[in-house]
Structure 1
Amino acid sequence: MTGRFAGKTAIVTGASRGIGLGIAERLVADGANVVITARKPEPLQVAVEQLGGPERAIGIAGNAGDEEHQAEVVSRAIEHFGSADLFVNNTGINPAFGPMIDVDLDAGRKIVEVNCLAALSWAQQVHRAWMSVHGGAIVNISSVSGIRASPGVGFYGASKAMLTHITQTLAVELGPSVRVNAVAPAVVKTKFAEKLYEGREDTVSAAYPLKRLGVPADIAGPVAFLLSEDASWITGQLLVVDGGITLTRGA
């Protein structure tokens, strides 16, 4: 434990598994207390125990896009741990695979609602309840699909491009007391991304200069950096964490 987040409280959404849980683990290791969210209470409780139990972590189940759920999470973070200093917006969905020209528009609306509007709403909630007075740091989890054409996940990528713009605008509006940044991962080995590599991991990873796919810890470290005082002069930035794939033509 480095202790750089000692005395601070982090909220991490979508954190019962995958990238979100990896981020929560890193923040706890660096001294933070964490409040994690997810839809299902059972895996959330398992994650809480993995993070050290109620002395270090609490889990609150709910719909990430529900404003009442968001308000409850922020309120309970402050009540239980005394603050809401750090916020990581990790929740994202992609129910639409295939050409963008064929995307179901209702699915597209849902993607924007969860990946963009909910991210903004979370920031509003934590800012009003804590950061507007005390300051803090926010990191949004974007995607490399949002910085270039991404056939097959094009509308998801479009939502992540919007999330990057939200990040940049909030950084301007909320400075100097609140920093807002984003991280753009390439393919990370999680259940969420299985369709992008399942059954062909060797082929997919061969296109990466670092010759492997990411794992949650590869994203957790950069997120922790952006939340920390080491990044105190960084705001409104999109940090690409991609094993080098955007330097090549690989998918």
Structure 2
Amino acid sequence: MGQRFEGKTAIITGASRGIGLGIAKQLVAEGARVVLTGRKQETLDEAVDRLGGPQTALGVAGKADDAQHQADTVRRAVETFDSLDLLVNNAGINPWYGPMVDLDPRVARKVFEVNCFAALAWVQQAHHVWMKEHGGRVVNIASHSAIQPAPGLGIYGASKAMLITMTKQLAVELGPNIRVNAVAPAVVKTKFSAALYEGREEELSASYPLKRLGEPGDIGSAVAFLLSEQASWITGQLLVVDGGVTVGEVAE
């Protein structure tokens, strides 16, 4: 795809490893400068080194739902790389696995705080500081558990369903100069989702029409497309990247 993002700057939340780092690798490979967020500065520094060093990447540690961290990251992105053209809301939590009927409401509130309200706050910050005047593109990372029930993942799926609805609403409100889309992965082989597949990867993969689980690069390629000019007439949409498992489950 060449250098589709030459001269562009992206913030990717939750990007010290896994899907977020996979997205960052794809964008850097196509010319972007990236600002990564995560909880630990040491892990972010390692990611920055893997992406080519401070000429192409910056790591800013903090909690995704912390307003000061959001403001500082957006400010540093513009100060360091002179723009903020792209935003990927990838940070998310899933502290509960089990029936929703047994869920502590305090845990549920925290899930929505990070997975939904923080994502909105990042968009607001990016809009206020740069995108309102210059335009931009946003991709929110949802989940296939938002599309249909997933055992044990009820509150996580519910939060991602809200994120999808927010994506559509923001696309309407922020067009035409800002495009907002979402990607819904199925199980991707990362530390975050390890409990879902470790020890049963072959069995789980068999339920996918493409007979494998996702890799971070699979999501990186999809996100890069939605952020690129090749998707210039696409906004408010959900791209499901799931190895066909959603279709396969319906077919069964």
TM-score range, shorter chain: over 0.9
Residue 144 of structure 1: aligned partner: 144
Give TM-score scaled by structure 2 length.
0.98
Alignment of 1:166-205 (within 5 A): 166-205=166-205
8 Å contact kept, 1:96–1:104: no
Percent identity of paired positions between Structure 1 and Structure 2: 65
> Which AA in structure 1 matches 2:202?
D
Residue 67 of structure 1: CA displacement?
0.8
Query: Partners in 1 of 2:220 and 2:199 — Cα distance?
Result: 26
Partners of 1:150 and 1:113 lie apart in 2 by 21
Deviates more, 1:123-132 or 1:96-105: 96-105
- The normalised TM-score by structure 1 is 0.98
- Give how far 1:102 is off: 1.1
CA distance in 2, matches of 1:108, 1:27: 33
**What does 1:95-114 align with in structure 2 at a 5 Å threshold?**
95-114=95-114
- Rounded to whole Å, the distance in 2 between the matches of 1:37 and 1:233 is 29
Deviations 1:17-38 (A, max 9, x none): 0000000000000000000000
For residues 194-227 of structure 1, give each alpha carbon's deviation from its aligned partner in whole angstroms, at most 9, with x where no partner exists. 1111100000000000000000000000100000
Distance between the aligned counterparts of 1:62 and 1:128, measured in 2? Answer: 20
Partner AA of 2:66 in structure 1: D
Where has structure 1 moved over 6 Å in runs of 4 or more? none
Q: Aligned with 2:249: secondary structure?
A: coil
Decide whether the 8 Å contact of 1:188 with 1:213 is kept in 2.
yes
User: How do 1:8-19 residues align onto structure 2 when only pairs under 5 Å count?
Assistant: 8-19=8-19
Structure 1: segments with no counterpart, 5+ residues? none
* Other-structure match for 1:63: 63
Q: Which position in structure 2 is the counterpart of 1:207?
A: 207
Structure 2 gap ranges (5+): none
Quote the Cα distance in structure 1 between the aligned partners of 2:29 and 2:100. 40
Report how far residue 178 of structure 1 moved. 0.1
Displacement of 1:249: 2.2
* Separation of aligned partners in 2, 1:136 and 1:164: 19
Q: How far 1:149 sits from its partner (Å)?
A: 1.1
CA–CA separation in structure 1 for the residues paired with 2:234 and 2:166: 16
For residues 22 and 145 of structure 2, the distance between their equivalents in structure 1, rounded to whole angstroms, comes to 21
- Using the alignment, how far apart are the partners of 1:223 and 1:193 within structure 2? 19
C-alpha distance after superposition, 1:25-82 (max 9, x if no partner): 0000000000000000111000000000000001000011011100111111100000
Whether the 8 Å contact between 1:100 and 1:151 is mirrored in structure 2 is no
Aligned CA-pair RMSD: 1.1
After superposition, residues 49-128 of structure 1 pair within 5 angstroms as: 49-128=49-128
> Residue in 2 aligned with 1:155?
155
CA distance in 2, matches of 1:99, 1:246: 21
SS across alignment from 2:218: helix
